[in-house]
């Protein structure tokens, strides 16, 4: 469902290297509203590094970022948030010593009229969103280090979803989850997509990719192998792109 018109996000010719290793090498991908684009590839292919250039965690060595057709400069996570970009990092990026509400609002705390942190409102809001995302979640007053992998993941997801993102980046959001929780994340993705968000989804499970994504961009060794409409390819096509690093549909 790649519509013509301006993409929500257009990453153009992004390159970034670490100490001589090209982690991302001249990669271009785009994303339309209401679309889920899967980013696939082996470990170390450069997927996380690529999306970190969009989320403001890294600054690309070269390349351009367009949001709704306008060129933007993203120097830090704050700039990304200002563009309504929210990110669920592979590492979750939670402060383990703080509770769920503190993590959810980290960097964007609610302030009461007296100028102090509005702890109770933040907790109440956290309870609301968690009731939607993970109804079993109860540990609101404990540091997130005391939570299970799945619970931590749901805190990270809640943080990305709460702030009305237009662009959502999900780096292996189901990695720590059991089948039931994974299913809930899949449902959430469908729901957000319906609301018109654009989602970059880094995901290893090929079935989930086929089920959730509209397009898939495959990377290998920092290079973009190709981008295909999910409707046009089979699981095997995608797997061979990931493994061989060649696009089977490309004319030789």
Ligand X SMILES: Nc1ncnc2c1ncn2[C@@H]1O[C@H](COP(=O)(O)OP(=O)(O)O)[C@@H](O)[C@H]1O
Of 62 and 195, which has the nearer Cβ to ligand X? 62
Cβ atoms of residues 175 and 150 within 8 Å: no
Selected range binding ligand X among 46-54, 104-112, 143-151, 210-218, rule: CB under 6 A: 46-54
Q: Which of 10, 48, 87, 217 binds ligand X (CB under 6 A)?
A: 48
Cβ atoms of residues 215 and 32 within 8 Å: no
The binder of 78, among other proteins, ligand X, Mg ion, none, by C-beta within 5 to 8 A per type, is other proteins
Q: Residues 190-193: contacts with CB within 8 Å, 24+ apart?
A: 192/161, 192/168, 193/34, 193/35, 193/36
DSSP track, 115-154 = SSB-HHHHHHHHHHHHHHH-TT---TTSBGGGS-HHHHHH
Q: Is 87 in the site for Mg ion (CB under 5 A)?
A: no
Contacts to ligand X from residues 18-37, by CB under 6 A = 18, 21, 23
Cβ atoms of residues 171 and 87 within 8 Å: yes
CB of 179 to ligand X, least distance (A): 23
Selected range binding ligand X among 17-25, 113-121, 207-215, 227-235, rule: CB under 6 A: 17-25
Q: Which residues bind other proteins (CB under 8 A)?
A: 55, 57, 76-78, 81, 87, 89, 91-98, 102, 106-109, 111, 116-117, 119-121, 123-124, 143
CB of 26 to other proteins, least distance (A): 25
CB of 145 to ligand X, least distance (A): 24
Nearest to 237 by CA among 226, 248, 228: 248
CB of 142 to other proteins, least distance (A): 11
> What are the CA-CA distances from residue 52 to residues 85, 115, 169, 220 (Å)?
11, 33, 9, 17
CB of 243 to other proteins, least distance (A): 32
Distance (Å, rounded) from C-alpha 168 to C-alpha 36? 9
The binder of 243, among Mg ion, ligand X, other proteins, none, by C-beta within 5 to 8 A per type, is none
Which residues are bridge partners to 37 per DSSP?
Answer: 200, 215
Q: Which of 9, 10, 14, 48 binds Mg ion (CB under 5 A)?
A: 48
Of 32 and 89, which has the nearer Cβ to other proteins? 89
Distance (Å, rounded) from C-alpha 238 to C-alpha 158? 30
Nearest to 142 by CA among 175, 97, 206: 97
Minimal CB distance residue for Mg ion: 48
The binder of 44, among Mg ion, other proteins, ligand X, none, by C-beta within 5 to 8 A per type, is ligand X
Of 88 and 233, which has the nearer Cβ to other proteins? 88
> What are the CA-CA distances from residue 108 to residues 35, 104, 105, 111, 162 (Å)?
27, 9, 5, 9, 11
In the complex, which residues of this chain contact ligand X (CB under 6 A)? 18, 21, 23, 41, 43-49
């Amino acid at each position: 469902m790649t519509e013509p018109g301006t993409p929500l996000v257009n990453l153009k010719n992004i390159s970034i290297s670490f100490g001589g290793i090209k982690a991302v090498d001249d990669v271009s991908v785009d994303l339309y509203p209401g679309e889920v684009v899967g980013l696939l590839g082996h470990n170390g292919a450069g997927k996380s590094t690529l999306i970190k250039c969009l989320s403001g965690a890294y600054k690309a060595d070269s390349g351009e970022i367009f949001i709704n057709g306008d060129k933007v400069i993203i120097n830090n996570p704050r700039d990304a948030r200002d563009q309504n970009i929210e990110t669920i990092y592979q590492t979750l990026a939670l402060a383990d010593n703080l509770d769920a509400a503190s993590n959810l609002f980290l960097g964007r705390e609610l302030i009461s009229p007296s100028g102090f942190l509005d702890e109770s409102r933040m907790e109440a809001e956290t309870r609301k969103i968690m009731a939607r995302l993970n109804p079993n979640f109860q540990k609101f007053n404990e540091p997130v280090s005391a939570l299970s992998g799945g619970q931590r993941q749901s805190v990270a997801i809640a943080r990305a979803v709460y702030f009305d993102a237009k662009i959502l980046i999900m780096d292996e959001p189901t990695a720590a989850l059991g089948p039931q929780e994974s299913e809930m994340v899949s449902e959430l993705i469908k729901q957000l997509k319906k609301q018109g968000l654009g989602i970059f989804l880094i995901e290893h499970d090929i079935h989930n990719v086929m089920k959730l994504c509209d397009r898939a961009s495959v990377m290998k060794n920092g290079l973009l192998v190709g981008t295909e409409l999910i409707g046009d390819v089979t699981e095997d096509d995608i797997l061979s792109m990931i493994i061989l690093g060649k696009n089977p549909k490309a004319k030789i």
